[in-house]
Structure 1
Amino acid sequence: MREVIDGVFEIRLGYVNVHVVVTDDGLVLVDTGLPRRAPAIERALRGIRRSLGEVRTVLVTHHHPDHVGSLAEVKRRSGARLIAHAADAPHITGAFPATPPAGLLGKLVGRLIGDVEPVKLDQLVADEAEPLPGFTALHTPGHTRGHLSFLLDRDGGILFAGDAAGSRGGRVTPPPGPVTADPAEALSSMKRLAERQFEHAVFGHGRAVTGHAVEAFRKAL
């Protein structure tokens, strides 16, 4: 775990990141990583003298299994409120049956990840909603239909991009095409994010960009 800015931490769980925000009302998680990762999140939280039981809310960026794999277990251990977009909700709750990823590589990754336990959501949010004090939900479809990014009003603004964008070598990149439902729409979402104001950005995959992050988005486009 590393602190990105004051009170915002990044936990790297394999190839995917989970983010922790310390608030006056407890901890907020953005995504939960792959299945069976709740113990790893717990261990990371101990490093800042916190525990999984202090998690009050989980903000879900999208329904892919490497982002919601431990959602049900985190809910059981913490009682946290789970928040997502309506378009991705059926994939999380189990209303839509899981479909294997396309292609040989996708199928192999699917087998390695394993099954994701369905879980009931507590709140559905739409574009520009404020699910928590200081947080704004931004509907950024493309990677999935219901993908959400979250903008936190802290330290000049920090964007939780999820998989609306990634980073590589300190540069912002589009989400990976093979697992993106609509690449053209994903690019439109990136353009919309680049119209906002934020100093820092964190991603589901890749290292955070601290300082002048919105300029990095604009350069990428």
Structure 2
Amino acid sequence: MSQPPNHKAPLPPSSDQVITHLPDEWPRMGNRFTRWLGRLGLRTMGWRMTGELPKVRQLVIAGGPHTSNWDFVVAMFAILALGVKVSWLGKHTIFRWPLTGLWYKLGGIPVNRGAATGMVEQAVDSFRHNANQIVALMPEGTRSKVDQWKTGFLRIAKGAQVPVLLVGMDYPSKSIHFADMFTPGEDMMADLERVKTFIQSFRGKRPALQ
């Protein structure tokens, strides 16, 4: 695997390619108008997407750094621009009429934290029932500065036997960079440190919270 990019240095030429479309294997959502809206939003804010999207049907995205509510805005424009359906985990209590259908359509995966099977097991099970699925999580788990990052995304990927794609959001260069993809191994802490090193090589909107 290549070394994580450093926000103080230019990305390698092979990694600096602008992403404009999805691989056929990725799940889709939206239409021509929503894709145009997403591209307009990114262009207005000065952002671009770089790197390479792997040709796989299932994966977990680990992205960051997460230091501001603006991260969500930029990410949503990127999702709309690509026309990709990105799944997320939500409390089962919000999946109620009349919003149930909307949450599912937007990629929601209901999880019941009080169930006998935990959140990780429920997310793993969703991969078994969806041939094309991408679940995105932020290992930091919060916008605040934390010492201990979440390992749920690694446990989900390992349980579902799907790879993890690293995505960095860099505010100085205004780029969302899709980088290395790896398969979690037996040493979860080593994998977590690898992800942490990658994400912290990018600069968030509020670097003091990284």
Higher alpha-carbon Rg: 2
Do the two structures share a fold, i.e. TM-score over 0.5?
A: no
In the superposition, the TM-score normalised over structure 1's length comes to 0.29
More strand by percentage: 1
More helix by percentage: 2
In the superposition, the TM-score normalised over structure 2's length comes to 0.30
